[in-house]
Amino acid sequence: MHRFLWLFFLLPCTVHAFWPLSWEFNNEKRFFGPLASYEKLDENIYLTVRPLLFAYDSEDGGRYHFLYPLGKSTKEKSYFIPFFLSKEFEGRRDTSIFLFFFGESQKGAYGGFFPFYGRLYNRFSKDEMGFFAWPLYSYTENEGARKTNILWPFFSFYSGEERGVKAWPIYGTREREGVKRTSFFLWPIFHKEKKDLDTDEPVDIFYAFPFYMQRISEKRASYTVIWPLFSYARDVDKRKWDILWPIFSRTEGEERKGFGIFPLFSYDLKGRDRTVNILWPLYKESEWYSGEERFFQRRVLLLSKYEEEKDKTFLNVWPLFDYRDKDSEYAFFFPSIFPFREQGFDRIIKPLFTLWEQRGSETSKKTNLLYGLFTSERNGDTWKMRFAFLLEVKKDEEGFGFQILAGLFGIDKKKVKIFYIPFERTEDTQKKE
């Protein structure tokens, strides 16, 4: 008896699809309903094990996702949030393992153990950084200027190309001769700055927040009085007023125009680009160009979205469905519980919550219902339909065929299956049909 049960249940999984343990859709082998999948496309391999939030594909030297979205590994960068990060840039690798870090740069090797001791080169837009018993002591060096911090962020001293001192939030001053001068008092209330002094358009900034703020240069200026009560800004081609920001706004210029009464209505025009909001966040519409390429986006309640790009469209009606069309091929998914669109998410998470999937083109149409309970694939004049492991019917170049119980019995133009064993049909039998 046990031999018969092995033959009836396990043999189909090895010789043919046996839903839900093993089945195929869209040239992809799937296992245990939606829980795992495998596909080989050209020379690339794609493997996904969704209970482990794991995915692998062999493109571009290999790419892994593990415990998505916490972990990812590629040839250039690997991470597992918040414990590990390793990335390569210009042949040099930088690695962090929890609080340890080490790496290489043009200036040499560096490393440390935060917050006890460490040194870094060419990181965070600085030439050099270091710390000891942070926040007790730290420093940064950049473009010949050195900033030394004691009990960061309270006390700082500037040396080298810059001079200054800071006792935050009471008082601070900093100067790079001929380039910029900044100072503050009772931060963030009073702030004064002159920058870009070595250019044709130096900038003068003064804040007495929130009572009065100004930023002035030869071509641009902005003024704010009792923020957010009133603000005015101008540059060479436009002027803008805000009253009780963000409630009332108006923009005037040769190529820039806008008007808004938040949240009822607003529009912004800039050349060919435009943005319209109606009863925000109920409806938003945007159109913009990059060269001659047009982009279009429409949102309803932020989560529902329609996008148009060159040879590509996307429609998400949350939480009902999303539809994608690219290069004359389309895909439809129901429901669409999560309003995200990202490669890792689409491969690992989305199939777990998709009850109806449909893909197609001008010549083909493929349907998957309830994790493979019913599938249908049509390509030109050929087609195949399958209901679980109970029944499969097909029509191909050889003619019609069917099988029941995943191949327990079946017949087509060339073969007859009896107890999963295929027998070649004789030419005489085929001619009689």
Average pLDDT in the 82-87 region?
93
Q: Residue 211's pLDDT is what? A: 96
CB 216 within 8 A of CB 232: no
Q: Residue 412's pLDDT is what? A: 80
Q: Residue 320's pLDDT is what? A: 94
More confident residue, 43 or 337: 337
Flag whether pLDDT at 64 surpasses 80: yes
Q: What is the DSSP letter of 304?
A: E
Name the 3-class secondary structure at 163. Answer: strand
Q: What is the mean pLDDT of the chain?
A: 89
Flag whether pLDDT at 283 surpasses 70: yes
Flag whether pLDDT at 55 surpasses 70: yes
Count of the separate structural domains present in the chain: 1
Average pLDDT in the 200-219 region?
95
CB 354 within 8 A of CB 37: no
Name the 3-class secondary structure at 43. Answer: coil
409 belongs to a structural domain: yes
21 belongs to a structural domain: yes
Q: Residue 433's pLDDT is what? A: 52
DSSP string, 198-256: TSSS-EEEEEETTTEEEEE-SS-EEEEETTTTEEEEE-SSEEEEEETTTTEEEEEESSE
Residues 6 or more apart from 10 whose CB is under 8 A from it? none
Listed range (126-140, 345-359, 400-414) with the worst mean pLDDT: 400-414
More confident residue, 423 or 84: 84
Flag whether pLDDT at 430 surpasses 60: no
Q: What is this structure's pTM?
A: 0.77
% of residues, the chain, pLDDT over 90: 66
Q: Residue 17's pLDDT is what? A: 65
Three-state secondary structure along 323-338?
EEEECCEEEEEECCCC
Average pLDDT in the 88-117 region?
91
Query: Which residues span the domain enclosing 383?
Result: 1-27+354-433
Q: Residue 83's pLDDT is what? A: 93
Question: What is the rounded CA–CA span in Å between residue 107 and residue 306?
Answer: 49
412 belongs to a structural domain: yes
Q: Residue 428's pLDDT is what? A: 52
Q: Residue 3's pLDDT is what? A: 41
Flag whether pLDDT at 425 surpasses 90: no
% of residues, the chain, pLDDT over 70: 94
pLDDT band at 14 (very low <50, low <70, confident <90, very high): very low
Flag whether pLDDT at 432 surpasses 60: no
Flag whether pLDDT at 15 surpasses 90: no
179 belongs to a structural domain: no
pLDDT band at 309 (very low <50, low <70, confident <90, very high): confident
17 belongs to a structural domain: yes
Average pLDDT in the 114-125 region?
92
Average pLDDT in the 378-389 region?
89
426 belongs to a structural domain: yes
DSSP string, 382-425: EEEEEETTTEEEEEETTEEEEEEGGGTEEE-SSEEEETTEEEEP
CA distances from 413 to 22, 322, 404, 426 (A): 25, 40, 16, 10
Question: What is the rounded CA–CA span in Å between residue 221 and residue 225?
Answer: 14
Q: Residue 12's pLDDT is what? A: 43
pLDDT band at 409 (very low <50, low <70, confident <90, very high): confident
Listed range (8-12, 321-325, 327-331) with the worst mean pLDDT: 8-12
Average pLDDT in the 192-220 region?
95
Question: What is the rounded CA–CA span in Å between residue 141 and residue 147?
Answer: 6
More confident residue, 158 or 338: 158
173 belongs to a structural domain: no
Beta bridge partners of 266: 260, 277
Q: Residue 7's pLDDT is what? A: 40
Flag whether pLDDT at 213 surpasses 90: yes
1 belongs to a structural domain: yes
